[in-house]
A and B are shown apart, each in its own frame.
Chain A
Amino acid sequence: MAGQKEIRNKASERMRYKLLHKFHDYKERFKTRHMCVGCGRCIHRCPEAISIVSTLEKMNNAIVKITNSNTQE
């Protein structure tokens, strides 16, 4: 890109971007299915053994928590 700017500097920002790709943006754009088939290959490949399954679960719990607190108000 002109200016050679790095858009996502932090690992966390990149992880968020990846997750949104796998579980939201792709489906939203192409109206098909989620990108991730749940094969688990990336868990073994990951040097830090970050599990996509538990990351998704964490995200899910967070969403449930947010929606619950919103409905209670």
Chain B
Amino acid sequence: MTQQNKNHMIPTACKIISVVKETDIEWTFRVESPFKANHGQFMQLSVPKIGEAPISISEIGDGYMDFTLRAVGKVTNEIFEKQAGDFLFLRGPYGNGWPVEELKDKHLVFITGGTGLAPVRSLLNEFYNNISSVKSVTLISGFKNKESILFKDELKKWQDKFKTFYTLDNESIEGWNSGLVTNFVKEIDFNSFEDNYAAIVVGPPIMMKFAGLELKKYNIPDEKIWMSFERKMSCAIGKCGHCRIDETYICLDGPVFPYTVAKNLVD
């Protein structure tokens, strides 16, 4: 089939390799995948006769991909009925993903809220495995409470090579800080980065807003801040307009934006 008349909406059946229950309502599905993707892109996951949902790729491996889903509705609940050996339908990858080349050789500061850790997990692992490709990594990661902590093993592993601040909103348990992620931005000595750094922010809209404002307090220039957006989507290929914020199409132009653009994306 030529590229021109290829039907972009047709998904591919992919076998589930394993399911890891991170929390009660957030599970990571590892799926066999023939697709090539960049860190920070997303796929459309579907179940026949039920529907489709855009889901970030939370890990890319040799012949497989991970998706970390929260069960919230029609499609995601149905996917939670599946187990290893069953099939998920995938199309994609979509979106721009993280500007990996631009982030290399820099001091990186990641600020994530809750499931916002999923879209940066593969990128964090990439830098963990090639730590010499970056100057340093600082990870500020927050969760609501003990029950909502994701990727426990990896959080632990990352502590070997990254500078980490792990925090729970309003609970204190051993080994964890307490308070919102924005409280930890002041712990970062941006001056020591000699102007060679970038900040990456992912989480619920309200958290991204305040993390952005907090970074601005330290005069971090807009173009050094990167954010990943989520919007209701349907087609993921720039046709339906569901994901639009004015004339910006999140599915095509995003989901990753520099703060120069992100700060104007309000609807």
Q: Report which A residues bind B (CB closer than 8 A).
A: 1-5, 7-8, 17, 20-21, 24-26, 28-30, 35
Q: Of B116, B232, B249, which one neighbours A29 at CB under 8 angstroms?
A: B249
- Which residue of B has the minimal Cβ distance to A27? B247
Question: Given A2-B204, A5-B205, A28-B247 in contact, is the A21-B232 Cβ separation under 8 Å?
Answer: no
Docked-complex contact B247 and A29, CB < 8 angstroms: yes
Residues of A within 8 A of B114 (CB): 2
A14 to B115, CA, bound (A): 27
B206 beta carbon closer than 8 Å to chain A: yes
Docked-complex contact B247 and A24, CB < 8 angstroms: yes
B248 beta carbon closer than 8 Å to chain A: yes
Q: B188-210, CB under 8 A of A: which get 1 and which 0?
A: 00000000000000011110000
Docked-complex contact B116 and A25, CB < 8 angstroms: no
Question: Given A24-B247, A25-B247, A29-B249 in contact, is the A2-B241 Cβ separation under 8 Å?
Answer: no
Docked-complex contact B267 and A25, CB < 8 angstroms: no
- Which residue of B has the minimal Cβ distance to A24? B247
Docked-complex contact B230 and A25, CB < 8 angstroms: no
Top 6 closest pairs, chain A to chain B, by CB: A28-B247, A3-B204, A1-B230, A21-B241, A2-B204, A29-B247
**Quick one: which of B86-116 are within 8 Å of A by CB?**
113-116
Other A-B contacts than A2-B113, A2-B205, A7-B231, 5 sampled, CB-CB below 8 A, are A25-B246, A26-B241, A26-B247, A29-B238, A29-B249
A59: shortest Cβ distance to chain B, in Å?
Answer: 16
Chain B interface size range? 20 to 34
B26: shortest Cβ distance to chain A, in Å?
Answer: 11
Q: List 5 A-B contacts (CB under 8 A).
A: A2-B203, A2-B205, A2-B230, A3-B204, A29-B238
B58: shortest Cβ distance to chain A, in Å?
Answer: 13
Residues of B within 8 A of A4 (CB): 72
Docked-complex contact B206 and A21, CB < 8 angstroms: no
B244 beta carbon closer than 8 Å to chain A: yes
Q: B24-51, CB under 8 A of A: which get 1 and which 0?
A: 0000000000000000000000000000
- Which residue of B has the minimal Cβ distance to A26? B241
A7, A8, A35 interface centre (most CB from chain B within 10 Å): A7
A30 to B239, CA, bound (A): 10
Docked-complex contact B246 and A3, CB < 8 angstroms: no
Residues of B within 8 A of A21 (CB): 241, 244
Question: Given A1-B205, A2-B115 in contact, is the A7-B232 Cβ separation under 8 Å?
Answer: yes
Docked-complex contact A7 and B249, CB < 8 angstroms: no
